[in-house]
Structure 1
């Protein structure tokens, strides 16, 4: 069976965001299966898209992103 073609995306994240990503991957992992940080990112993308499709408040996400932008610039 051919391998799924995947796109690569490189993003810059803060040390705090990397720590959150690492902690989340660790918490989702089990003795039978380790979860990678990439898998956590893919899960987050799917979860956000699903929530937006179900009518989640765009303003909530925009506020989070705006807070990150202000934090990054500060």
Structure 2
């Protein structure tokens, strides 16, 4: 079976965000399976999309994006 083609995305994140990503991957990992930071990002994307589809408040997400360290307007 041919390998599923994936799109690549490069983003710039802060050291604090990288630390959060690393910690989350570590916490989700088990002795049987290590979880990569990329998998954590994919999981987060799916979770946010699902919540938005279920009527999550857009204002809540917008407020998070406006907080320091999350927005990429200064990049």
Q: TM-score, normalised by structure 1?
A: 0.92
Match of 1:52 in 2: 52
Matched residue SS, 1:47? helix
Deviation at 1:64, TM superposition (A): 0.5
> By how many angstroms is 1:12 displaced?
0.2
Q: Does 1:12 align with 2:12?
A: yes
Q: Which runs of 5+ in 2 are unaligned?
A: none
TM-score (norm 2): 0.91
- Structure 1: gaps of 5 or more residues: none
Partners in 2 of 1:50 and 1:69 — Cα distance?
A: 21
Q: Going by fraction, where is helix more abundant, 1 or 2?
A: 1
Return structure 1 stretches of 4+ with deviation > 6 angstroms: none
